[in-house]
Amino acid sequence: MVFGFDYSLVNLLSLVVGLAFLANGYIIVRSERESLELFVMSLLLGAGLIVVAVVPNVFEVVARLLGLEWKARAILVISNLTLFVAVTYLLNRIGHMYDRLSRLNEELSLLRSELEEHQLQTEDKQDE
């Protein structure tokens, strides 16, 4: 017992996973992936897990507040959260794909323009 709280291996695990989420957010910033949704989600989940790990009673309070002591409602809430995470992730991937497609469009148009220029020069030389 530390500071009036009972800590177990689960708390340590929550702390590690929470820190991993924060690190993920930091890595996203460093690598300039600029995925705002993933960054905010990582910060929220990471901070939430760390709070739950450090102050275990918070989870009980939140669970009571959300009605998670009822099994059916707990399943509904967890399903909704999972759906939220999945939708956010997929939106992020779509954004990424659009970004890559746009870069490919840019690169392809520049290469095509270079090719046209090269073909014109070759034709001019042949005419001479």
Partner 1 sequence: MELFQRTTILSSLLAAFPPVRTVAVIPAYNESSTIGSVIDGTSRYVDEVVVVDDGSSDDTAAIAREHGAHVVTHVFNTGVGGAVRTGYQYAIRHDYDFVVQVDADGQHDPEKIPTLLSHAEDADMVIGSRYLNESIDDYPFIRRLGITFFTTVVRKLGGIDITDVTSGFRVYRVSALQDILHRSDNHWAVEQTLDAAQRGQRIEEVSIEMPIRDEGESQFSLDTLVLYPLRMTDTVFRVLLFR
Q: Which is nearer to partner 1, 21 or 39 (CB)?
A: 39
Please tell me whether residue 56 adopts helix, strand or coil conformation.
coil
113 forms part of the interface with partner 1 (CB under 8 A): yes
Pick from 117, 118, 122, 123 the residue near partner 1 by CB under 8 A: 117
- Of the pair 43, 54, the CB lying nearest partner 1 is at 43
- Burial bucket for residue 114 (CB in 10 Å: 0-12, 13-18, 19+): exposed
Taking CB atoms within 8 Å and a gap of at least 24, the contacts of 54-61 are 54/11, 54/15, 55/5, 56/5, 56/6, 56/7, 56/11, 57/5
Task: State how far the Cα of 78 lies from the Cα of 39, in Å rounded to an integer.
Answer: 21
Minimum CB separation of residue 37 from partner 1 in Å reads: 9
Binding residues for partner 1, rule CB under 8 A, total 16
Nearer to partner 1, 80 or 105 (CB): 105
Distances (CA, A) of 41 to 46, 54, 67, 87: 8, 20, 23, 12
Binding of partner 1 at residue 99 (CB under 8 A)?
yes
The verdict on 102 binding partner 1 (CB under 8 A) reads yes
Residue 34, interface with partner 1 (CB under 8 A)?
Answer: yes
Regarding 121 and contact with partner 1 (CB under 8 A), the answer is no
Instruction: Give residues in contact with partner 1 (CB under 8 A).
Output: 29, 32-34, 36, 39, 99, 102, 105-106, 108-110, 112-113, 117
